[in-house]
Amino acid sequence: MAKATKKQALGRGLSALLKDPENDINSAEDKNADKVVGNIVELDINSIEVNPFQPRTNFNEETLRELASSIRELGVIQPITVRKLAFNNYQLVSGERRFRASKLIGLETIPAYIRIANDQESLEMALVENIQRQDLDAIEIALSYQRLIDEINLTQEEMSERVGKKRSTIANYLRLLKLDPIIQTGIRDGFISMGHGRAMVNIEDQVDQLEVYEKIISNKLSVRATEQLVKNLNNTPETATKSEDGVVEIPKHIKKGVKEFSEYFGHKIDVKVAKNGSGKITIPFHSEEDFNRIKKLVQRENK
């Protein structure tokens, strides 16, 4: 406890140093910069502005209130990170949830690490640090990767080194941005998972993407069922099948019907047609859960 009190007192002492115009620190070479940069300083909360480079755009109000309650009881355990803009003027680099929660309960000061960085460095720090967070949704992460490409000019290989992720993982996130904006919103709001999104990326036409998205929502399709549905959509049904009398071409009206069946059941439907026009339809399933899903679809049509 004594150690924590000493550290807090030190932070307040540095805060007083920063408020002295004669000690205005703008670079690492300035006098007393070594005492401030990289240390925890108690800053006036009103001297800090939010970061326009913040990759996160969604802040859950309920979890924010929970964090505020925790801060009220225990204080800000992990300091925020800011960069100095001007005399007694700072900008958030990371920790916006802690910053917002602290303002919510009326704190006047907040512990902060001070960095000296230009706009590009600040953007990179904010994006890279936020990508590491566990509570960003897949689209926020994808947008952060895209901004690192567009605004910092990083390659996927360079990003892989900076954020400690495989290049293939980064590529999978970036591919989500090819989805229709409605589907991207569905991922952000938790209606579908990243796995669903990755399956739908393989559909080039966005109209078809939205049709599949609606089927996922209405039929509560699993990722595996979605992958099969997309596969069926992209693969034209077999144009011919063998019978005892040889190869028989499947009529166009049956081809169309098989495609519709495949989309409805979420599996590739097999069809065999005899020379006399009769035939057999086979609906595959992969598990007991999958069988029960198909059974419900059939029962629903019979009502």
Of 124, 51, 63, nearest in space to 94 by CA: 51
- Residue 289 has a pLDDT of 78
Q: How confident is the model at residue 4 (pLDDT cuts 50, 70, 90)?
A: very low
- Whether 96 is catalytic: yes
pLDDT-wise least confident of 102-116, 204-218, 256-270, 283-297: 256-270
Residue 77 lies in a domain: yes
- Residue 50 has a pLDDT of 86
CATH number of residue 12's parent domain: 3.90.1530.10
Quote the number of domains for the chain: 2
User: 26 or 294, which is more confident?
Assistant: 294
User: How far is residue 126's CA from residue 114's CA, in Å, rounded to a whole number?
Assistant: 14
Across the range 118-131, mean pLDDT stands at 66
Mean pLDDT over each residue of the chain, to the nearest integer: 76
User: How far is residue 19's CA from residue 88's CA, in Å, rounded to a whole number?
Assistant: 6
Residue 15 lies in a domain: yes
pLDDT per position as a tens digit, 231-274 = 888 774 444 444 444 445 667 677 777 777 777 777 667 777 77
- Residue 132 has a pLDDT of 66
- Active-site residue (options: 62, 66, 73, 96): 96
User: How far is residue 225's CA from residue 265's CA, in Å, rounded to a whole number?
Assistant: 9
Residue 149 lies in a domain: no
Joined tokens for residue 45 = 């909360």
Residue after which a domain boundary falls, among 94, 118, 142: 118
Of 52, 132, 45, 53, nearest in space to 80 by CA: 45
Residue 156 lies in a domain: no
Enclosing domain of residue 242: 236-303
- Residue 247 has a pLDDT of 47
Contact between residue 37 and residue 102 where contact means Cβ atoms under 8 Å apart = no
Residue 250 lies in a domain: yes
What pTM was estimated for this model as a whole? 0.47
Phi, then psi, of 268 in degrees rounded to 5: -75, 120
DSSP string, 242-302: EETTEEEEPPHHHHHHHHHHHHHHTSPPEEEE-TTS-EEEE---SSHHHHHHHHHHHHHHH
- Residue 302 has a pLDDT of 63
* Statement: residue 221 has pLDDT above 90: yes
Residue 76 lies in a domain: yes
* Statement: residue 85 has pLDDT above 60: yes
Residues whose CB falls within 8 Å of the CB of residue 218, separated by 6 or more in sequence, listed in order = none
pLDDT-wise least confident of 14-28, 54-68, 158-172, 266-280: 14-28
User: How far is residue 108's CA from residue 90's CA, in Å, rounded to a whole number?
Assistant: 15
Across the range 148-169, mean pLDDT stands at 81
Across the range 164-192, mean pLDDT stands at 89
Q: Where are the alpha helices (DSSP H) in 115-205?
A: 119-131, 138-151, 156-163, 167-175, 181-188, 194-200
Contact between residue 109 and residue 34 where contact means Cβ atoms under 8 Å apart = no
Residue after which a domain boundary falls, among 76, 103, 118: 118
Three-state DSSP state, 231: helix
Residue after which a domain boundary falls, among 67, 83, 118: 118
User: 4 or 15, which is more confident?
Assistant: 15
Residues whose CB falls within 8 Å of the CB of residue 158, separated by 6 or more in sequence, listed in order = none
pLDDT-wise least confident of 66-70, 90-94, 148-152, 211-215: 148-152
DSSP summary character for residue 27 = S
pLDDT per position as a tens digit, 31-76 = 555 555 667 788 899 999 987 766 566 677 888 888 899 999 888 8
The residue with tokens 């996927």 is 156
Taking the alpha carbons of 68, 69, 70, 73 in that order, is the dihedral positive or negative?
positive
